Each structure stands twice: as structure tokens, then as C-alpha cells.
Chain A
Amino acid sequence: MRWRNSSTHYGLTSIVLHWLVAAAVFGLFGLGYWMVGLTYYSSWYRTAPDLHKSIGLVLFLVMLVRVLWRFVSPAPGPLASQGRLTQAAAKLGHSVLYLGLFLVMMSGYLISTADGRAISVFGLFDVPALITSIPNQADTAGLVHEYAAWALVILAVLHALAALKHHFIDRDATLRRMLGRNPG
């Protein structure tokens, strides 16, 4: 398989980025949901949030690469079998997923850096605080983070259901394309 996308096929770069982000989104959601309920004496009480933040910041880098890659190697066009409305819905859905991802990541970053503290990424390097002046920053960003995260996973589930619908009902190449298994 090629690294780059063609007009009909996703290349390895886009495919790997897509599934990495998918795994991170659901993993981070689960981790986040679980960690806020931990008891104080749990051995994960400190490590789970550290992991959540570290993975989240790495995901931010991955998403930057992913957006850049769209310009370097544009995604293949829509399948000819899909109607106008389907194409428009897909385009809108994908845009909202991208926006949602950045909203969740940035709001999360703003919680932890609200009073100027840096975030340590796996203890390897620190990401400094840049914005500390939003009123009630930790709380406001916290609310945005929570609601946006819920919206994002719900949308991601709809996105997955739509892919399955294309695969099993429409029997088109939408899902196979993203698995690198469409012929030609």
C-alpha cells in the first residue's frame, strides 16, 4: 500500500492516523469517565489523570499532523454511488468531528493549565500554560470539556454506524477504503 492517498484510495498514512485517533478518542473517553470516579486512595488517582493528559496532548500533535496531511495528500473523493445529500452529510459530519476533537483537547488543556501550571507529557517534556486569564477558567473549561467529549463520542459512534450502514446495507467501499481493502 502507498503512503499517500490517491483519488480513489486512502494511503497508509491516512489509514493509520484515522484508526489511531479513533482508538485514542474512545480510550481517552473511557479513561476520563473512569478516573473522575476514583477514590482518593486508589493507586490510579494520580496516574490516570497524568496518562489522560499525556495521551491527550500526543493526540493533539497527531491531529495537527493529520490536518497537515490533508493538504499534502488530499483524501480521495466521495464514492460515485453516494447521493448528493449523503456526500454533504458526510462532509459536515467529518468537519464537526475535527472541530469536536480540537474543542475537547483545547478545553482539557485549559483546565490543567488554568493557574499557569505546565502539563508533563509522560514525564518526558512539559507543555507550558499559555492562557490563564479566562474567568473561572478551570470550571468553564471543565464544563466545555465534559459536554464536548460526550458530543464527540456520540458523534463518533454515529460515524461508525454510518460506516457500517455503507458496508452492510449499501454494500459500497466506504469502510473497506478506510481498512485499505478496496480493490484496484
Chain B
Amino acid sequence: MLKKTLAALVLGSALAGGQAFAADYAIDKEGQHAFVNFKISHLGYSWLWGTFKDFDGAFSFDAAKPAESKVNVTLKTASVDTNHAERDKHLRSDDFLNVAKHPTATFESTSVKPTGDGTADITGNLTLNGVTKPVVIAAKFIGEGKDPWGGYRAGFEGSTTLTLKDFDIKMDLGPASQTVDLIISVEGVRK
């Protein structure tokens, strides 16, 4: 174990040429300090909130070089939950997420552009309902540091807005509900 860690450190610093290099983080799925929530307007009168319970992913991040950050997430679309079993069944059907045919959604970043103090636009390819489209997530760095149990963590929040039709979602929920907001909050544990 120690040998392996040492080897990784030596190899790591060799690759980074002695400079600081981005650390790799795994999304804290075990403790579930990670959320992919969404909200969509109901008739224009209120927000319907939901979440995806099953997803995993990783990111690399160095606060000194945010532009070199990378993130990827894989999500099981069947894990959608809006506190209403009958509605969730409908959301999994081919009127919406078509989970039988497209059980996973993925996001893979292609570029990260810092936009200010601790904020960045993460551009990447989102594959949802079998459709891959570039999206931009407005991300905000929340914090990083040691946790009380011997690990090291970093966390972010981000949001983006998706147009349902862009991802071939058939059901039309009316003029106020053409888009859905994704609100993401993830914490990673350094590998």
C-alpha cells in the first residue's frame, strides 16, 4: 500500500514536472454528498422538484489552475424521484426519459472557463435520452480541505437549463414548462 502510494506520488510529480498538478476526486457516492436535482415549472404556477438518486462520477481539480479541471458523471435515469410513484413511472416511460431504451445519461466536460472568483463555465457533452448535445454548466467552487476522517474533499455546485425538445422528450407540458433547470451539488473525495 505504502509502496504503491509512493510510486504514484513519484510518477505523479514526474508527470507534472515538479509543478502543482490537479488532484483526482471521486464523487462521494458512498456518503451521498452529491445531488442532481431538477425543477420544472408546473403550468407556470409553481416549481416541481425532483432528483436523480443513482449517479456516480469523478473530477480533477486544482484551485490554482481551474481551467484544467475535468468532470464526468454517469447517471441512471430510472432513479428519477419526484415524491410521486405514479408520476415517476410516467417520467421513466417513453413520454419522457425512455429509461428502458436509454438507461444512462452522461456528462463529460470538454472545457472549463473560469469566469470569476471561484466560478467557471463548464462546457461538456450531455447525453440524455440518447441525444448528445453540448451544454454549459455555470459552476461555483464551494470549498475544499481535510475532512474529519482522514480524507480530503472538494465541493461544487452548478446549474444549467435544458430544453426538453432538444433531448427528444416527447411530452409537451405546456408553454411554461419547455425547459428544466438542473441544480447540481457534488462533493468529491480525493483519490
Contacts and interface: CB of A to CB of B under 8 A. Distances in A.
Contact of B174 (A40, A111, A137, A138): A40
Nearest to A115: B85
A40 B172 CA distance: 7
Contact of A112 (B86, B172, B173, B174): B86
A162 B88 CA distance: 41
B86 A111 contact: yes
Contacts of A137: 85
B92 to A, nearest CB: 6
Contacts of B173: 40
Interface string B107-122: 0000000000000000
A138 B88 contact: yes
B172 A138 contact: no
Nearest to B95: A36
A115 B172 contact: no
B89 interface: yes
Interface of B: 78, 83-86, 88-89, 92, 171-174
Given A114-B89, A115-B83, A117-B86, 11 more contacts: A111-B89, A114-B85, A115-B85, A117-B84, A138-B85, A138-B86, A138-B88, A138-B89, A139-B89, A139-B92, A142-B89
